[in-house]
Amino acid sequence: MGSEDDGHSSSEGSPAARAVEEIESGMTSSDKPACSPPDERPALGPSFYDPEPVHRGTPRVSRVGKRRALVLVGIHVLVFLHLVHWQLRGETLSPLEPSEAMYTTARGVVNAGAILLGASLVSVLIFGRFFCGWACHLVALQDGCAWLLKKLGRRPRPLRSRALSWVPLAAGLYMFGFPLYVRWAEDFGWPDFGLHLTKKSFWETFPGFWLGFATFAFCGGVMVWFLGAKGFCTYACPYGGLFRVMDKLAPLRIRVTDACKGCGHCSAVCTSNVRVKDEVARFGMVVDSGCMKCLDCVSVCPENALHLGFGKPAVGARPRSKRRWRLPYSWGEELFLVTLFGAVLAICAGLPREYYPWATALYGRMPLLFSLGLASGTAFLGLYLWRFYRSPMLTLQTLVLRQEGRATRSGRVFLAVAVIWFGLVLHSAWIQAETWVANRAFERLPVGELAFAPDREARLTGENRSDIAAAKEHYAVVRRWGLVGDLRVPTRLGSLALLEGDAERAARLMREAIAVDPEFAYSHGDLAKILASQGRFAEAKASIEEALRLKPEEPEFREVAKQILVRRAEQLAQSGDFPAAIEVLEELKNLTGPNPMLDAMLRQLRGQ
């Protein structure tokens, strides 16, 4: 065994050393100069590492891993019990999801998610990112995927981008700070804050089962293999972006003693892509805000040199030596990543609706978190596709894509996947362009004012008719060629049919919208109004009752229900069916409460 003075020669061939090399370099074979010596990095002098022999070989199994797994399983059990309570009671604590805090800054709704986010930020400010490592369900999913890949002999290497590492912070500021900026810019003042800790419509702000499943599969699975462990946390998580800032000020950090010999076991087992060995050598502690305090590095250290302790925070820490790794991407490649990321994010999530209400999300349903993950993954895929045509040697994770200037079998599969993927991206861009043009035309129309007006034909201007034709044309393209049903398309085509005086077609289109999403209450409410305008009060009554079942607190539905029930009762009374008319008015009384006029009508009908 060599001494520490001979650089890294003593670690060649060691599994731990190879893992550390992969983690700390973050480079593929194509990134390294063809004629460079094996290791140009200067070895640290004996002033830091103990000169005694270093423990090489495979790192031992972390004793903390099973404990953390049990804690994360317990978190999921609590989530399940939360859902069971909602199913049994019909009302429960609002979702403990940090994204719910958006409604706090936008509308003043202080819910359980906002309280959780606030408490988490305070905890990170003191203790670091324990919340991420020990309580986040998506971290559990990513770590589970990384564990399975490790069992299959695959250890994804992190792809390290300087520019895209700022995405989580930008996303966090947009989610929670942009609504406050809009209120300030538009002079709306502060929202009226109030507690709303319980909820009946639990899934109201969630994307639905299949879209949620796709989010977890891509962000918790695909991104791990492609971008490395915790790829979503690194390049997409908006909460993690805020936590990174707070973590810089946290006094509780992983620190090192003089017992460290630089074996690199800590870096080899870190699931947060932290260069632990290098950081403790340069700073005496881990300063990387990506550290989620999983404590695996502390557990596996053969010298017990790492510990969790209070002391100086990371902000302002000065390194003892220079950085020991090359940056994997040039600034031109970083610019390419940012540009492609921004384009794909706009395609998926749309533009800020406060200023561009027509530039909506893809198919009207793509959530921001999924969009951030898709944009990050697509940006890296595009970069490696570019490198595929420029580099004679190229690897991606464990796959050799090009060798000696020729594409390998893995390279041809990669190329096919990339072409299909970017074909879908371009198709989505086309659908979005058609949708946005249609939306702009539709929003110029006085739909609410004229849809049920008896003189709408006379009040429609030539510009209105041009907008109707344009909206119909572009929505028809989306309806025919879209890969996923878009609830807005049949809904808005139905509104256009009303403007043209075709209530029958409007009703058919609204039923089509209900088929796309049967749980969307407003489609049932709109259908009820259309049917009522045709005098089909029995069908209208059934539709508005379904709308009230789905969203009982909506005041508009209650007003529409009152009008429909009165008209239905009049219709039954005129046909001589007085018992049925009395029954309908009793329903109306239950909806409105005590009403002298209703009591008089009931007495009159009972006297018939």
Average pLDDT of 319-334? 81
The more confident residue out of 174 and 597 is 174
Distance of CA 487 to the CA centre of its chain: 21
Average pLDDT of 508-513? 94
pLDDT above 80 for 79: yes
Q: Which residues of 358-367 are buried (b: 16+ CB within 10 A; e: fewer)?
A: bbbbbbbbbb
Where is mean pLDDT largest: 47-56, 427-436, 443-452, 548-557?
427-436
Q: Please report which confidence band the pLDDT of residue 157 belongs to, taking 50, 70 and 90 as the band edges.
A: confident
Q: Please report which confidence band the pLDDT of residue 50 belongs to, taking 50, 70 and 90 as the band edges.
A: very low
3-state secondary structure (DSSP) of residue 287 = coil
Average pLDDT along the chain: 86
pLDDT computed for residue 324 by the predictor: 66
Q: Which residues of 559-597 are buried (b: 16+ CB within 10 A; e: fewer)?
A: ebbbbbbbbbbebbbeeeebebbbebbeebbeeeeeeee
> In this structure, how many other beta carbons lie within 10 angstroms of the beta carbon of residue 608?
10
pLDDT above 90 for 377: yes
pLDDT above 70 for 54: no
Q: Please report which confidence band the pLDDT of residue 607 belongs to, taking 50, 70 and 90 as the band edges.
A: low
pLDDT computed for residue 325 by the predictor: 64
Q: Which residues contact 530 (CB under 8 A, 6 or more apart)?
A: 494, 498, 503, 506, 507, 510
Q: Please report which confidence band the pLDDT of residue 32 belongs to, taking 50, 70 and 90 as the band edges.
A: very low
**Of the ranges 6-10, 283-287, 382-386, 585-589, which one carries the lowest mean pLDDT score?**
6-10
Average pLDDT of 116-120? 95
3-state secondary structure (DSSP) of residue 225 = helix
Whole-Å CA distances, 580 to 531, 571, 577, 588, 603: 20, 10, 6, 13, 14
Q: Please report which confidence band the pLDDT of residue 577 belongs to, taking 50, 70 and 90 as the band edges.
A: confident
pTM of the model: 0.83
Q: Please report which confidence band the pLDDT of residue 47 belongs to, taking 50, 70 and 90 as the band edges.
A: very low
Average pLDDT of 497-525? 92
Q: Please report which confidence band the pLDDT of residue 153 belongs to, taking 50, 70 and 90 as the band edges.
A: confident
pLDDT computed for residue 608 by the predictor: 61
Domains and CATH numbers, the chain: 10-28+56-328 (no CATH), 330-442 (no CATH), 443-606 (1.25.40.10)
> How far is it, in rounded angstroms, from Cα 196 to Cα 93?
9
Average pLDDT of 299-306? 91
